[in-house]
Structure 1
Amino acid sequence: MKFTSFTQYLSLCLIGLTISCTSVKTTAQNKKPKNVILMIADGTGLSQISSSQFYNSQPSNYDRFKHIGLIKTSSASDLITDSAAGATAFSAGVKTYNGAIGVNTDTIAIPTILEDLEKRNFATGVIATSTITHATPASFYAHQKYRKMELEIAQDLVTSGVDFFAGGGRKFFENREDGNNLVAALEGSGYEMYLDRLDPTLKMKASKKYGFLLADSGMPKVLEGRGSFLYDATKLGIKRLSKNKEGFFLMVEGSQVDWGGHNNDGEYLVSELIDFDTVIGQVLDYAAKDGNTLVVVTADHETGGFTLASDEGDYNKINPSFSTGGHSATMVPVFAYGPGAAEFMGIYENTAIYSKIKALIKE
């Protein structure tokens, strides 16, 4: 083939390059994740995230995200949601009443994304620094009409099919008022149970399920010596779940950012948020290396009306302040990384977290 001019030749080359680039871009946009890691820093709004930038000795891992959105958090019953309704919006895609665990406004159980994926042979896990029966983790595997029914929620965990869990709440599984030993029941269901420590070097078997109940109630505060529990549990959870060829879903909650907000305790809140930020770094490093993992980081609501005010008018000094001991109605941010991350940009209802993940990992 002869070209009548160099200009014509150059034009055709540019057209070919454009088509090639468009093809690559489309392929990247259409890529579906094999794995999903949903990270929830309970009670975290923009000021909490900002605190990880001002008070962290290391660069904040929130800064690594390029795809960011905002969610509206109101529940079906209240303008200001609680963690149960907020987490059920994420796990089951429905707006429900405050206090509901995996049920709709008529207290009818709604299948969660974790349960749906288990039917498709995905591996699943839940991790929290609260009790494992607390509102947020419970909403992914349990169905109860009220969040305080932790004895019943613990029973739901036994039959849930979750492959890996780690947190506190041992008192809801052994020495129960009803005399049932749910630790023994979990072992009978194929779990390898650990009640005193978490060893991040533990050799994991794809054929085994693992449960860690490391405190009677919630895990200790970072300020009281919890150490690297959340980091180590997440590392171990990914190690176990990634052995599954079909893919995995893991929910990781930094539960006590919320508790620091309720206590109007800035030091407590910031220390928990920085701990969570460290785990984000680990997860992003894994996702970057893996290439098939979608990471979504968000919160169920903001707690404390937290703000980074000036200290008595000195604009070079920050004084963490609070406007309430409860939750607030403000929107909270969503950060996404990996295949499908662009879908999480914009402003939308909290239930869309569920629908967006489901759409990306549909069969």
Structure 2
Amino acid sequence: MKGTIRFVFLGCILLFLSSSCATKAPLTPIKTTEVVESPAPKNIILMIADGTGLSQISASLYYSEEPSNYERFRHIGLIKTSSASDLITDSAAGATSFSAGIKTYNGAIGVNTDTIATPTILEELSERGYATGVIATSTITHATPASFYAHVKYRRMEEEIAEALTYSSVDFFAGGGLKFFNNRSDKKDLLAQLTVQGFEVDTTSLFTNRILSKDKKYGFLLADGGMPKMIDGRGPFLGDATQLGLTHLSKDPDGFFLMVEGSQIDWGGHANDGEYLIGEMLDFDKVLGKVLDFAQRDKNTLVIVTADHETGGFTLASDNNNYNKIKPSFSTGGHSATMVPVFAYGPGAENFSGVYENTAIYRKLKLLLGL
């Protein structure tokens, strides 16, 4: 009997050292939507490198003669990207998680799983006096940019999305997609409709040599579909459009919200075309440098850089086991379920470290801004 008691007693001591003999209360989950006390940013720039995971970002280290601008960040997190309908998200559901803070089904643009419109961060900030803008190398009606200003049940409804842009609260936009405005199945002239809504629209070039009026809205539709690839001679469109947008929107005394998408990194991943993907990635990295320079001078701008998902299962493998030679490789023509990094710079950036759901980006922004 004494041996039994001694055995139980010693066992209890050993258990206590690791987990205690008493029943423990469950650990309280960390609330990822809480924010630490910090000055609220005046401006928000959300940069989305569509389809970008760590290997795509790593490509900006190995294939550029200049240091990658991703190396300038000190606050880095990871987001879980699954949608409400699928383990692997698409760009529509992924972007809607950023814009509206909800998990929805693949294909949804600014609507919940019941196809009910949900207010976006762009719309909410516009109501509070912020200037707003969206820029993309895809059509401006494509899934990611559309998710910030439109509400439709399916991403392929680009004619409906184009019409939504004409009466949206967007003040500045640039990208492709002209055909959805002037060559429509319903014969509507949405370019004229944009003019009625106070936009000055150009379909040939950016106004890089003009001073834009702070009292006007501007739209640039510079390709029928998506913009050309970088490797096909697109040139500095994304950087010039971003610089123009920053110059124009920063005139607003109440602050601004700007979404910039490097859309075709994703397209290079879908095509399993390493040259295409890397060309788009290097272009995005240059634009990122411009944005960080702006934020560094301004000191009141929060920059968040992330992706809706990873595309292509992209890796930087060794070429025939030669560890001094990299061969871009792919495992799928679609998206993958891998977590995606988030980089943040500026007031409140520390709140974007950690591991959390993609919807938390929206909630963290609202908490930081006191909305």
- Structure 2 length-normalised TM: 0.90
Q: Deviations over 1:268-294 (max 9, x none)?
A: 000000000000000000000000000
Q: Tell me what 1:284 maps to.
A: 292
- Alpha-carbon shift at residue 202 of structure 1 (Å): 2.0
Kept in 2: contact 1:29–1:339 (CA 8 A): no
Are 1:170 and 2:178 counterparts? yes
SS state at 1:94 partner: coil
Are 1:139 and 2:144 counterparts? no
Are 1:128 and 2:136 counterparts? yes
Choose the corresponding residue for 2:40, options 14, 29, 32.
Answer: 32
Choose the corresponding residue for 2:218, options 201, 204, 210.
Answer: 210
The one-letter code of the counterpart of 1:148 is R
Of 255-264 and 170-179, more deviation after overlay is shown by 170-179
Q: Tell me what 2:192 maps to.
A: 184
In 2, Cα distance between the equivalents of 1:359 and 1:181?
Answer: 40
Kept in 2: contact 1:306–1:322 (CA 8 A): yes
Q: Tell me what 1:106 maps to.
A: 114
How many equivalent pairs are there? 336
Q: Deviations over 1:117-155 (max 9, x none)?
A: 110010000000000000000000000000000000001
In 2, Cα distance between the equivalents of 1:192 and 1:358?
Answer: 31
In 2, Cα distance between the equivalents of 1:283 and 1:29?
Answer: 25
In 2, Cα distance between the equivalents of 1:218 and 1:155?
Answer: 18
- Alpha-carbon shift at residue 164 of structure 1 (Å): 0.1
SS state at 1:206 partner: coil
Are 1:56 and 2:70 counterparts? no
Q: Tell me what 1:319 maps to.
A: 327
Q: Deviations over 1:222-280 (max 9, x none)?
A: 01111000000000000110010000000000000000000000000000000000000
Are 1:155 and 2:163 counterparts? yes
Highest Rg: 1 or 2? 2
Q: Deviations over 1:20-47 (max 9, x none)?
A: xxxxxxxx95211000000000000000
Q: Deviations over 1:36-92 (max 9, x none)?
A: 000000000000000000001111000000000000000000000000000000000
The one-letter code of the counterpart of 2:103 is K
SS state at 1:42 partner: coil
- Alpha-carbon shift at residue 344 of structure 1 (Å): 0.1
How high is the sequence identity, in percent, across the aligned residues? 71
Kept in 2: contact 1:84–1:147 (CA 8 A): yes
Choose the corresponding residue for 1:223, options 231, 240, 243.
Answer: 231
In 2, Cα distance between the equivalents of 1:317 and 1:347?
Answer: 32
RMSD: 0.9
**Which 5+ residue runs of structure 1 have no aligned equivalent?**
1-27
The one-letter code of the counterpart of 2:273 is D
In 2, Cα distance between the equivalents of 1:63 and 1:343?
Answer: 18
The one-letter code of the counterpart of 2:284 is F
In 1, Cα distance between the equivalents of 2:183 and 2:312?
Answer: 35
